[in-house]
Amino acid sequence: MKRTLITLVTLALLLSTLACERRGGGGGGGDDTGPIKVGIYGDLSGQTSSFGQSTKNGAVMAIDEINAAGGINGRKVEYVMEDDQGQPAQAATVVTKLINQDRVHAVLGEVASTNSLAAAPKAQEAKVPMITPSSTNPKVTQVGDYIFRVCFTDDFQGAVAAKFASNTLKAKKAAILGDFNSDYSKGMSQYFVQEFTAAGGQIVERQTYTQTDADFKGQLTAIRAAAPDVIFVPGYYGQVGVIAKQAKELGITAPLLGGDGWDAPQLWDLGGAALNGAYMVNHYSVDDPSPAVQKFVAAYKAKYGGTAPDAIAALGYDAMNVLADAIRRAGTTESAKLRDAIAQTKNFAGVTGAISINESRDAVKPAVVFELRDRKFVYKETIQPPGAPATAAASPGASPAAPASSPAVMPSNTAAGAEGGAAGSSANANAAGASGGAAGNTNR
Amino acid sequence: MDTFVQQLINGLTVGSIYALIALGYTMVYGILRLINFAHGDVYMIGAFAGFFLAHGLGFAAEPSVVGLGVTLVGSMAVAAVIGMAIERFAYRPVRKYARMTTLITAIGVSLLIENLGVVIFGNAPRAFPGLMENQTYPLFGNAAISKTQLLIFGVSVALMLLLQWIIYHTKVGTAMRAVSFNLNSAKLMGINTDAIIVFTFALGSALAAAGGVLTAQYNPTIYPLMGIITGLKAFVAAVLGGIGNIPGAVLGGLLIGAAETLVVGYGQVVGIPSTYRDAVAFAILILVLLFRPAGLLGTTVQEKV
């Protein structure tokens, strides 16, 4: 009896020490000295693995550049990359691990909004700042004041798509084919419907699919029967490529329209020529002629064997740089001060545009619309968000001669080399202000 | 009307694939009374084998009918070997034990193959190369049939006829039927039952691999866990038709494919969202087991004393 009691008490004590987790300000070695530890989580091996890989590439490139320049305030940056396999439950688990075991000062990730939504509460609870580079669903930053993003949100992106559909494509009837399990897809559909119907359009058919579906012809046949002018497919590249292919097989001629979830090289592997004539909304153009973007593109290609950076990689790069800038300004990695410094980011010159964090911890940035043709993204137009920073609106008359970027020249540019993006500089309201062609279509 | 026909064509295409896989389930059950849960993963292996063959032999770069044929036959051969290996190393040692043991072994093999696939290939979806350029042939109104769909129908029908011929017009087939009636009596008649069992596994696996390569022409996304849901639905198809019954497997496959696609296409009229497509197969399973457990074409002759 006595021995049992002793064993039980010892066990209880041991277990209670294990249960103790240091909460609050997940500070690593120290808040003012020692290496800065950044946790990055993303999908490296699952259905959306292109996103995780791109984010990692962008963020790691930023980290290497920072370290080569001597670190931040003399401190080197170290990172820990975790694979969440594209599963929300895994996302929450790896973020918990990054915070408690690796003791990171901040977390970068994820791309898919569903995964960010699963992991954000963990970061918020532990008061570790989290910056999502590419999650666009508005709910992500609503989780708490430690969660930030450096991209635009779906209420803007869905509206951009709807405006493009009704103004440029002159569509009166639209059908929606959404991903049932993705918060990103649901949010996009919701905002698209709102804006499209407000512009006088009609939604003639709504269908959904799941990421494990092999066959979309059932949904597409029903959509075809409703004869829409445009089909909105706010899903991820793994399914969109196949949807495009199967839509072509069914003889559907209405163009497909989608968002940044399409942005991956595998999209072309899966969809091939069926994607020609589709449109997508995205964060930045790799053909943007502004010097900052081209420098980034060249450096990325040199580092990663000739692959061009997609928007996800560019956002990963920007997110890391925003974090670094905030650490520099705060002078410390202490979590509350760091959080405040991130929240005060104003007009940070990122490769995806000027990043300013507003009161809801989102970034207000323009969107670019592309047409897909022959494995290239051909620039169509830029759409500024409401309340864009003054640098974008100020320059029409004063823009230094950048004649190639005048809208009139755009069509021939796209014909000539399918290089596109000549006026894409307007997408990049760089703080330097030298970007010409802010005359680029302000569709609002 | 033309939409209905289109949905039916789509459904029968998917159904032919289920039929090919269901044949494997049904044949193995017929001779061994074993539900080979690893069969869905052999389908996945066939798709991956086709993927590597197509890229390795250069067919991905220039699609051709010859390329398609070689990939198909090649992947069928690889899957047949894997099927035989599974039988030899996982099922034969436990054949003498209780039925439950073999069932659990089957589940174990399935999980092993799936996770080995994730470790070796990574769970990221890959794009299977298109080996035949597609074309759509309009039928009437809006209904159209594509070359890929015709290919799937054609190859499935051809393989099923081949199977029919093997089982009813060759010595091996007669031996297979004998073993399915009574294993011990067949042994007494001088049939090498082990060889026949191996042959059956090889045959079933080859059919599943053909299904894998054909599906990949239709939907080019392949990934290591693709066999789970498709395998389960094919199993339901085999049960629906009467497990152990070969025409039943074909009928079951086509019915499940058609039901699934019609629910996706028309379900919204009755308030069933299209994401219930997978639930359709399992709902059918429950109904079959409740009302006609022997399956549509099954008979109670299967019961042995």
For the segment B64-106, what is each residue's pLDDT rounded down to a tens digit?
888 899 999 999 999 999 999 999 999 999 988 988 999 999 9
Which residues on adjacent β-strands are paired with residue B144? B138
**Residue among A85, A180, A214 whose CB faces B219 most closely:** A214
Judge: B124–A45 Cβ closer than 8 Å, yes or no.
Answer: yes
The residues of A whose Cβ lies within 8 A of any Cβ of B are: 45-47, 49-50, 85, 180, 207-210, 212-215, 217-219, 221-222, 224-225, 238-239, 241-242, 245-246, 248-251, 266, 269-270, 272
% of chain B residues with pLDDT over 70: 98
Read off the pLDDT of residues A86-141 as tens digits, 9 standing for 90 and up: 899 999 999 999 999 999 999 998 999 999 999 999 999 999 999 999 999 999 99
Q: How confident is the model at residue B304 (pLDDT cuts 50, 70, 90)?
A: low
Q: How many CB pairs under 8 A join A and B?
A: 106
Cα angle for residues B214, B113, A237 (degrees, 5° grid): 55
Is B114 in the A-facing interface, judged by CB distances under 8 Å? Answer: no
A205 vs A8: CA distance, rounded Å: 64
- Would you state the pLDDT for residue B145? 87
* pLDDT tens per residue across span B266-294: 887 787 877 888 888 999 999 999 999 98
pLDDT digits (tens, 9 = 90+) for B241-261: 998 888 999 999 999 999 999
CA angle B58, B60, B63 (to 5 degrees): 100
> Considering only CA atoms, which of B93, B43, B95 is closest in space to residue B214?
B43
Chain centroid offset of residue A277 CA:
23
Sign of CA dihedral A427, A289, A305, A415: positive
Hey, how many other C-beta atoms are within 10 angstroms of the C-beta on B43? 29
Residue B184 has pLDDT above 80, yes or no: yes
In this model, does residue A393 exceed pLDDT 70? no
- Range A259-268 average pLDDT: 91
Q: Which of B7, B138, B219 sits opposite A221 (nearest CB)?
A: B7
pLDDT for res B136:
82
**Amino acid, single-letter form, for residue A253:** T
Q: Is the confidence at residue A399, as pLDDT, over 50?
A: no
Q: Mean pLDDT throughout A188-217?
A: 91
What is the least distance, in Å, from the CA of B201 to any CA of chain A? 26
Pick from A89-98, A287-296, A418-427 the range whose average pLDDT is largest.
A89-98
Of A429-433, B45-49, B152-156, the poorest mean pLDDT is in A429-433
- Residue at token pair 């905030």: A326
Mean pLDDT of B177-189: 92
* Residue B99 token pair: 């039925």
Q: Are A208 and B10 an interchain contact pair (Cβ–Cβ within 8 Å)?
A: no
pLDDT of residue B303: 55
3-state helix, strand, coil in chain A (%, to 5): 45, 15, 40
What pLDDT shows up at residue A19? 60
How far apart, in Å, are the Cα atoms of B41 and each of A77, B99, B113, B228, B236?
A: 44, 21, 7, 7, 16
Instruction: With beta carbons less than 8 A apart as the criterion, state whether B51 and B126 touch.
Output: yes
Q: B11 at the A interface (CB within 8 A)?
A: yes
**Which pLDDT belongs to residue B302?**
53
Q: What is the pLDDT of residue A18?
A: 63
What is the pLDDT, as a whole number, of residue B300? 63
Q: Does B112 touch chain A (CB under 8 A)?
A: no
Contact: B124, A47; criterion CB under 8 Å: yes
How close, in Å, is residue A38 to chain B by CA atoms? 25
Contact A324, A72 (CB under 8 A): yes
Closest by Cα among A211, A90, A294 to B124? A211
* Closest partner CB to A210 (pick from B142, B220, B275): B275
User: To the nearest whole percent, how much of chain A has pLDDT over 90?
Assistant: 61
CB of B3 less than 8 A from some CB of A: yes
Pick A249's closest partner by Cβ from B7, B11, B136: B136
Per-residue pLDDT, A405: 36
**For residue A366, what are the CA distances in angstroms to A192, A281, A429?**
17, 10, 9
Please compute the mean of the pLDDT values over residues B168-197 and round it to a whole number: 93
Per-residue pLDDT, averaged over A368-388, amounts to 87
Q: How confident is the model at residue B112 (pLDDT cuts 50, 70, 90)?
A: very high
**For residue B40, which of B100, B107, B88, B95 has the smallest C-alpha distance?**
B107
Phi-psi region of A25 (alpha: psi -120 to 50; beta: other; left: phi over 0): left
Which class for A304: exposed (0-12), middle (13-18), buried (19 or more C-beta within 10 A)? middle
Domain B7-134+146-302 of CATH type 1.10.3470: yes
Query: How many Å apart are CA B259 and CA B243, to the nearest integer?
Result: 19
Task: Identify which has the larger pLDDT, A19 or B198.
Answer: B198
Q: How far apart are CA B208 and CA B190, in angstroms?
A: 30
pLDDT at A424 over 80: no
Percent of chain A beyond pLDDT 70? 84
Interchain contact, A207 vs B6, CB within 8 Å? no
Find the mean pLDDT for residues A131-157: 93
Nearest Cα residue in chain A from B266: A222
Cβ <8 Å between A221 and B3: yes
**CA–CA dist A221, A207 (Å, integer):** 10
Neighbours of B104 (CB within 10 A): 13
**Tokens 């959509």 belong to residue:** A223
Domains and CATH numbers, chain A: 36-152+301-355 (3.40.50.2300), 155-282 (3.40.50.2300), 388-444 (no CATH)
Prior bond to B87 cis, omega within 30?
no
Secondary structure of B203-229 in HEC code, one letter for each residue: HHHHHHHHHHHHHHHHCCEECHHHHHH
**Average pLDDT score over chain A:** 83
Distance from CA of A268 to the nearest CA of B (A): 9
Q: State the average pLDDT over residues A149-169.
A: 92
Tokens encoding B23: 């044949």
- Confidence at B211, pLDDT banded by 50, 70, 90: very high
Q: What is the mean pLDDT of residues A138-145?
A: 92
Q: Which helix (H) or strand (E) holds A301?
A: helix A291-303
pLDDT of residue B175: 95
In this complex, is the C-beta atom of B141 within 8 Å of any C-beta atom belonging to chain A? Answer: no
What is the structure's pLDDT at A65? Answer: 94
Give the per-residue pLDDT at A387.
67
For β-strands A278-282 and B126-127, DSSP reports them as: unpaired
pTM of the model: 0.79
* pLDDT tens-digit readout, A428-441: 434 333 333 333 33
Nearest CA-CA distance, residue A138 and chain B, Å: 25
Question: Radius of gyration of chain A from Cα atoms?
Answer: 23
Mean pLDDT, residues B137-161 taken together: 88
All residues of chain B having their beta carbon less than 8 Å from the beta carbon of residue A236 are: none
Q: Cβ of B138 under 8 Å from any chain A Cβ?
A: yes
Residues A419-430, mean pLDDT to the nearest whole number? 38
Query: A218 to chain B: which residues are within 8 Å by CB?
Result: 7, 10-11, 260-262, 264-265, 274, 277
Local confidence band at B219 (pLDDT 50, 70, 90 cut-offs): confident
Cα–Cα nearest to B117, from B225, B243, B235: B225
Q: Parallel, antiparallel, or unpaired for β A130-132 and A147-149? A: parallel
- Taking CA–CA distances from A243, the nearest residue in chain B reads B219
Quote ipTM for the complex: 0.80
